[in-house]
Amino acid sequence: MIRIGVLGCGDVANFGHIPAILSTDGVELVALYDPDPARLSSTSARFDGLPTFDSTEEFYGQGLDAVVIASPAPTHLAGVLEAATRDVHVLCEKPISEDESEAETMIGAMNISGKIFMVGFCYRFSPVARQIKQWIEEGTVGKIRALRLIYIWNLHGRYQQQPDHSWVENPRWAGRMVEGGPMVDCGVHMIDLSRWWLESEIVRAAASGAWVADYEAPDHMWLNMDHRCGAHTNVEMSFTYCHTAREPINHFSYHLIGDGGVLRYDRDGYVLEARTGQETIRVPGASEKNFEGMYAAFRDAIRSGDTTGLPLAQDGLIATKIAREATNLVMGDRARPTA
């Protein structure tokens, strides 16, 4: 049994990581740690009293084989460097760091440790993404030439109503914008998928953005990337699509255009299909995320030592670097309205 501990008990740990670990055969969640005692206690209670510890020293004293770092990005450097000295495998939430040099330091430390350093790109493990990968490898629609990957939504709404019926800005919405906006937060998944699906590096990137809200980062953004293989990927991301609407909707889809047809996924209705000159193949769709599949793959890699197909820290660094550089360029080129 692989013994896992979780560092950080925020939203993503509660809705994603912890439930997935608890439902994965062959792994055991034996320790939680968070510097906020209230958050630590509430997370433990939510999952029937998972063991909690008041310090990382006690946390690591539980004979861990692996640690999940689900704390805020500014804490990842210290968390990974400590894990590297503890001889444990690491699964770290994205971004592994907001600073490229820090990320490289973390990767170097984990390389020295000889342990797996995986990043939480859970989109790779969705049955949807894996079916698309299979279709590409089988040449179902020929050679892929263009990808259009879209996620436009309201990030749970910009404002939230208080008990006194007043409205305040949603801290989650504001926080994600301060951290870099939709391309840095969500777009990294799409960047990673394009590299993984095509098995081809990105050699050029350009971007543009729009400001519906007035943060430094654009809240609606387009990223265009050329791959070494000759394919092109367009990623569209937004946090302001219906962000103030009473009845918000969203749109999430993948479109991969080959010289012999089209692969298409639409989360609305979980449509997943391959349209070719001979037939239209439809298979059951699913959510774009799969934390359970991610942990099954993490478990298998720990057992076998084979990391083939895993999103490793270097993949996280590449995706975050592209997203952040594109966002910074767009911010620098922002055209301010004139009177």
pLDDT at position 209: 98
Report the helix count and the strand count for the chain, using DSSP H and E.
12, 15
Same domain, 91 and 202: no
CATH code, domain with 277 = 3.30.360.10
Residues 75 and 153 in one domain: no
Per-residue pLDDT at 293 exceeds 70: yes
> Same structural domain for residues 261 and 243?
yes
Considering the domain architecture, whether residues 80 and 214 belong to the same structural domain is answered as no
Report the pLDDT averaged over residues 239-264.
Answer: 98
Domain that holds residue 317: 123-332
Domain termination site, one of 81, 115, 149: 115
Element (H, E) at 152: strand 144-152
In terms of domains, do 13 and 57 share one? Answer: yes
Does residue 338 have a pLDDT over 90? no
Range 290-306 average pLDDT: 99
Q: Does 88 reside within a domain?
A: yes
Query: Which stretches does DSSP call E strand in 212-333?
Result: 220-227, 232-238, 251-258, 261-266, 271-276, 280-284
The answer, yes or no, to whether residue 142 has pLDDT greater than 70, is yes
Residue after which a domain boundary falls, among 88, 115, 142: 115
Kindly tell me the burial class for residue 172, based on how many C-beta atoms sit within 10 Å of its own C-beta (0-12, 13-18, 19 or more). Answer: middle
CATH at 93: 3.40.50.720
**Same domain assignment for residues 176 and 324:** yes
Is 337 within a domain? no
pLDDT at 44: 98
> What is the band of 98 on the pLDDT scale with cuts at 50, 70, 90?
confident
Domain presence at residue 338: no
Judge if 44 and 131 occupy the same domain: no
Look at the pTM and tell me if it is higher than 0.85: yes
Instruction: Say if residue 255 is in the same domain as residue 182.
Output: yes
Domain boundary among 63, 87, 115: 115
pLDDT for the residue numbered 339:
59
Are residue 97 and residue 155 in the same domain, yes or no? no
Tell me the average pLDDT across 305-315.
98
| Confidence at 217, pLDDT banded by 50, 70, 90 | very high
Same-domain check for residues 297 and 264: yes
Q: What is the pLDDT of residues 77-97, one digit of tens each?
A: 999 999 999 999 999 999 999
Same domain for 203 and 289, yes or no, is yes
Q: Are 209 and 239 in contact (CB under 8 A)?
A: no
Q: Confidence band (pLDDT; 50, 70, 90) for 190?
A: very high
SS3 174: helix
Model pLDDT, residue 82: 98
pLDDT of 336 reads 74
For residue 18, the SS3 value is helix
What average pLDDT does the structure give for the chain?
97
Radius of gyration, CA atoms only, the chain: 21
pLDDT at position 327 is 98
What are φ and ψ of residue 130, in 5° steps? -75, -35
pLDDT at 182 over 90: yes
Question: What mean pLDDT is predicted for residues 169-181?
Answer: 94
> How many domains does the chain divide into?
2
